[in-house]
Amino acid sequence: MARQVWAAFLEDFLCELGQVFELGWQALKSIFKKPFEKANFIQQLEEVGVNSLPVVSLTAAFGGLVFGLQTYLAFHRYIGPGSESQGGPIIAVGLCRELIPILVGLMVAGRVGSAMAAEIGTMRITEQIDALFSLGAHPVRYLVVPRVLSSLIMVPILTLYGDVIAIFGGFAYNVFLMKVNQTLYVQNTLKYFEFWDVSVGLIKALIFGLVIAVVGCWQGMTAAGGAEGVGRATTKSVVVASIAILILNFFLSKVLPSSLS
Q: Looking only at residues 107 through 146 of this chain, which bind another protein when binding is defined by CB under 8 A?
A: 122-123, 126-128, 130-131, 133-138
C-alpha span between 183 and 88 (Å, rounded):
11
Q: Where in 60-79 is the site for another protein (CB under 8 A)? A: none
CB nearer to another protein: pick between 131 and 246: 131
Q: Closer to another protein at the Cβ: 5 or 135?
A: 135
Query: What is the total count of residues that contact another protein (CB under 8 A)?
Result: 14
Closest CA relative to residue 146, chosen from 21, 17, 30: 30
CA of 70: how far to CAs of 78, 83, 91, 169, 185, in Å? 12, 14, 9, 12, 15
CA angle 77, 81, 82 (to 5 degrees): 135
- Rg of the Cα atoms in the chain: 21
CB-wise, 28 or 202, nearer to another protein? 28
CB of 26 to another protein, least distance (A): 10
Write down the least CB distance from residue 130 to another protein, Å: 5
d(CA 131, CA 241): 28
What does the alpha-carbon distance between residue 241 and residue 257 come to, in Å, rounded to a whole number? 25
Q: How far is the CB of 39 from another protein (least distance, A)?
A: 10
Nearest approach, Cβ of residue 240 and another protein (Å): 22
Residue 134 CB, nearest approach to another protein (Å)? 4
Cβ distance 178 to 79 under 8 Å?
no
Residues between 90 and 109 that touch another protein (CB under 8 A): none
Nearer residue to another protein within complex by CB, 145 or 252: 145
* Nearest distance in Å: CB 209, another protein: 23
Query: Which residue, 122 or 159, has its beta carbon nearer to another protein?
Result: 122
- Contact between residue 56 and residue 102 where contact means Cβ atoms under 8 Å apart: no
Instruction: Considering only residues 8 through 47, tell me which ones interact with another protein, judged by CB under 8 A.
Output: 35
Counted residue by residue, the chain has a size of 261
- Binding residues vs another protein (CB under 8 A): 35, 122-123, 126-128, 130-131, 133-138
